Amino acid sequence: MALASNSLVSFIHGSLSQPTRHFHPLPLPGSPSLSLKLARRSNSPLLCSLDASNSTDKETPIETRFPAYPTVMDINKIRDVLPHRFPFLLVDRVIEYNPGVSAVGIKNVTINDNFFPGHFPERPIMPGVLMVEAMAQIGGLVMLQPEVGGSRENFFFAGVDKVRFRKPVIAGDTLVMRMTLIKLQKRFGIAKMEGKAYVGSDLVCEGEFLMATGSD
C-alpha cells in the first residue's frame, strides 16, 4: 500500500511539472482530498492523428493543392475587344463572362509593373486609380458587344461614384474584379455598372461606374 501511494504521488508530481495550458480536475477514487490535473498539450500525438483534414493537406504538395483560374477569354481575345495596349491594358484574363450582363477578370500584380518604381519605391502598392481603371476595362468587355450596341471606337469611361478602397494591393497579389450591369439607357448610350475587386476573399475596392457606349 505504501508503494502504491508513493507511485501515485510521483505520478502526480511528474504531471504537474510538465508545461500546461488547460487543466481539468479529475477526482481520484478513494481519495477525495486529491485531484489529478491533466494537461492538454498542442504536441499531443492523439490530437494530430484525429485531425484528418490537416493530414490530407500535408500529403498534397502546396504547388498542386489549389486549382488554377479557368480561362474564358485569354489575353489575345481581350486585345481583340479592348483598344487598350501596353502599358495601360490592365486585364490579363477573363474567368467568367456573360456578354451585356457581367464579367469577372483578373490582373496579376507583379513587381515588374511599370507603376511600381514610382508608387512607391520602398513599398510597392498598386495605385487606386489603376484599380478603378482595370475594373472599367472589364466593364468595357461586358458592354463592347454587338447585341449591347457598344463600339471599341467609341467607348468611354464616363464617371465613377461611391468608390471605396478597403485594403492595399501589393506586388504578388492577384486582383479579381467583377463588373455587373445595373442599368442600361440605350437612348443615351449610358451603362451603369457595379464593380467589386478582391484579393483572395478580401474586398479591396468597390464602386459604381458609368460607361458611354453610344455612337456619335
Residues forming the active site: 119
Which triple of cell numbers denotes residue 78? 481581350
Q: Tally the C-alpha atoms within 13 A of residue 184's C-alpha that lie toward its C-beta.
A: 16
DSSP state of 214: -
Q: How far apart are CA 170 and CA 126, in angstroms?
A: 6
Q: How far apart are CA 129 and CA 39, in angstroms?
A: 54
Q: Judge contact between 106 and 147, C-beta under 8 A.
A: no
Q: How far apart are CA 131 and CA 110, in angstroms?
A: 14
Q: How far is CA 32 from CA 27, 122, 141, in A?
A: 7, 66, 77
Q: How far apart are CA 121 and CA 129, in angstroms?
A: 18
Q: How far apart are CA 40 and CA 18, in angstroms?
A: 10
64-92 in b/e form (b: 16+ CB < 10 A) is eeeeebeeebeeeebeebbebeeeebbbb
